[in-house]
Structure 1
Amino acid sequence: MEDSINPSHPFIGMWVTADGYIRHELLPNGRYDEARGSRKSAYQGSYSITGDHIEYVDDTGFTADGDFRDSVLYHGGMVLYRE
């Protein structure tokens, strides 16, 4: 995983589901923080981005991935939009 991502990288920032229930923040330090409903920081971990693909490793060791297409993040069966 990368130690940091360029802070001006186009994918850095907050991504949310259409209903706002899941809020997924990609931080410039290569970490992410995911909130679910009223549960802040439900999941945290690190990520790396290669092209339009993102790989996640949460702090428990669980891995996941996703893809950015047309300004939308498709991750783990979820569709997240840039906030």
Structure 2
Amino acid sequence: MKPEKTIELTKEYLGMWVTEDGYIRHELLPNNRYDEARGSRKSAYHGSYQVTGNHIDYKDDTGFTADGEFKEGVLYHAGMVLYKEL
């Protein structure tokens, strides 16, 4: 049986993730930092993240934490659905 390739192993999580309406944008950077824009507010939130398997844990620079799951190329995070921008 072939082992499952998680998003952690493939690093396919890197890049820009956006809600369908484009209002929320998460940029996951290769240095385990993220930058979140909301509407016209660029860098509304930023901090660090850690991917384990298909799970992501966020910690913004103020100490707030959140998490999410990658499923079939979609990021489910805090009630939001984000799609990878190509």
Identify the structure with the greater helix proportion. 2
Gaps of 5+ in 1: 1-5
Q: Given the alignment, which residue of 29, 33, 36 partners 1:34?
A: 36
Gaps of 5+ in 2: 1-7
SS of residue in 2 equivalent to 1:11: coil
Larger radius of gyration: 2
Q: How many residues align?
A: 77
In 2: Cα distance, 1:41 partner to 1:12 partner = 17
Query: Which runs of at least 4 in structure 1 moved beyond 4 Å after TM superposition?
Result: none
Q: Tell me how large the CA RMSD over aligned residues is.
A: 1.2
**1:31-68 deviation digits (Å, cap 9, x = unpaired):** 00000000000000000000000000000000000000
Q: TM-score, normalised by structure 2?
A: 0.87
Q: Which residue of 2 aligns with 1:55?
A: 57
Q: Which residue of 2 aligns with 1:19?
A: 21
